[in-house]
């Protein structure tokens, strides 16, 4: 037997795929390539290379930032809805100053004979008055310009905070339905020929919502309680103020805010959509019932 003096076979040492000069025996658990300590990233099992981690991050669903009440957080701090509502009210006020006809055609009115002899009002099929009245304000009389000034100040003061925590569409829905609630209560219990204008119903709805949401998130509510009490005293002590509009707006705003604020997280989306729809349906039924009572022939 002769000895084998041939050289042993050469064995290759694995190296990092990104750094060929670095020996390593660790593989990426995703692509199975060799990776050095610099290229290792901890994974649920083993390690992954930087490319696989980056690819996984691109494919992962990014979470949408939410407010404490579950609304989509706005990408801008500008209260777009609040400023739009203020702009709409100011524009309508300028239109009123240009022509008194704007008030007669759009104010809240159950059913009455107009100066031109025509019978008009919600009971005559003019249901839009329930909404348009919340963008009008008294242009003369005992209040004059102070009517719109106070309402717009209140909207500017508390609107942005509510819009931020509720999100834009929830805030807008709350504002409009609160104003509608004020109109509907006036329509139900007021005299058919009693008219009203103003955003006060919607503003009172914001007052109620601010209180409810403040209690829910632990914010100070003393200032809004003080403001609300003062306004309720004025409402019931000064002649010419529609208490129905204020109370109707306050009740609707507080109820919707409670639905927004206390909805269980698992059913939050359903309740946030369902509560306004149910409220709108209930107000619609009340309007239809009152309309039949005032004008059965309609």
Q: Is 200 annotated in the active site? A: yes
Q: Exactly one of 47, 147, 246, 272 is catalytic; name it.
A: 246
Q: In the annotation, is 246 catalytic?
A: yes
HEC profile for the chain? CCCCCCCCCCCCCCECCCCCCCECCCECCCCCCECCHHHCEECCCCEECHHHHHHHHHHCCCCCCECCCCCECCCCCCCHHHHHHHHHHHHHHHHHHHCCHHHHHHCEECCEECCCCCEECHHHCCCCHHHHHHHCCCCCCCCCCHHHHHHHHHHHHHHHHHHHHHCHHHHHHHHHHHHHHHHHHHHHHCCCCCEECCCHHHHHHHHHHHHHHHHHHCCCCHHHHHHHHHHHHHHHHCCCCCHHHHHHHHHHHHHHHHHHHHCCHHHHHHHHHHHHHHHHHHHHHHHHHHHHHHCCCC
CB atoms within 10 A of CB 104: 15
Written as six digits, the tokens of 158 are 């508390």
CA distance linking residue 119 with residue 274, whole number of Å:
37
Q: Write down the catalytic residue from 178, 183, 200, 242.
A: 200
Known catalytic residues?
200, 246
């Amino acid at each position: 037997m002769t000895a084998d003096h041939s050289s042993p076979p050469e064995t290759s040492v694995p190296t990092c795929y990104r750094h060929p000069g670095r020996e390593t025996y660790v593989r990426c658990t995703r692509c199975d390539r060799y990776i050095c300590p610099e290229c290792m990233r901890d994974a649920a099992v083993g390690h992954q290379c930087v490319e696989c981690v980056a690819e996984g991050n691109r494919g992962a669903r990014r979470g949408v930032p939410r407010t404490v009440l579950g609304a989509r957080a706005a990408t801008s701090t500008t209260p777009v809805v609040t400023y739009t509502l203020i702009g709409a009210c100011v524009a309508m006020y300028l239109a009123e100053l240009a022509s008194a006809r704007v008030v007669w055609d759009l104010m809240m009115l159950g059913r009455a004979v107009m100066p031109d002899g025509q019978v008009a009002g919600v009971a005559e099929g003019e249901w839009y008055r329930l909404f348009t009245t919340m963008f009008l304000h008294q242009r003369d009389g005992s209040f004059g310009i102070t009517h719109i000034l106070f309402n717009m100040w209140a909207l500017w003061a508390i609107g942005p905070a509510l819009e931020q925590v509720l999100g834009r569409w929830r805030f807008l829905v709350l504002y409009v339905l609160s104003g509608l609630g004020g109109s509907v209560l006036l329509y139900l219990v007021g005299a058919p020929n009693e008219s009203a204008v103003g955003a006060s119903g919607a503003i009172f709805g914001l007052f109620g919502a601010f209180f409810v949401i403040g209690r829910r998130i632990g914010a100070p509510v003393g200032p809004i309680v003080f403001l609300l009490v003062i306004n309720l005293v004025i409402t019931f002590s000064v002649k010419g103020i529609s208490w129905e509009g204020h109370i109707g707006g306050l009740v609707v705003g507080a109820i919707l805010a409670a639905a927004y604020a206390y909805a269980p997280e698992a059913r939050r989306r359903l309740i946030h959509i369902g509560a306004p729809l149910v409220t709108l349906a209930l107000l619609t039924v009340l309007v239809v019932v009152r309309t039949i009572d005032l004008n059965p022939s309609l």
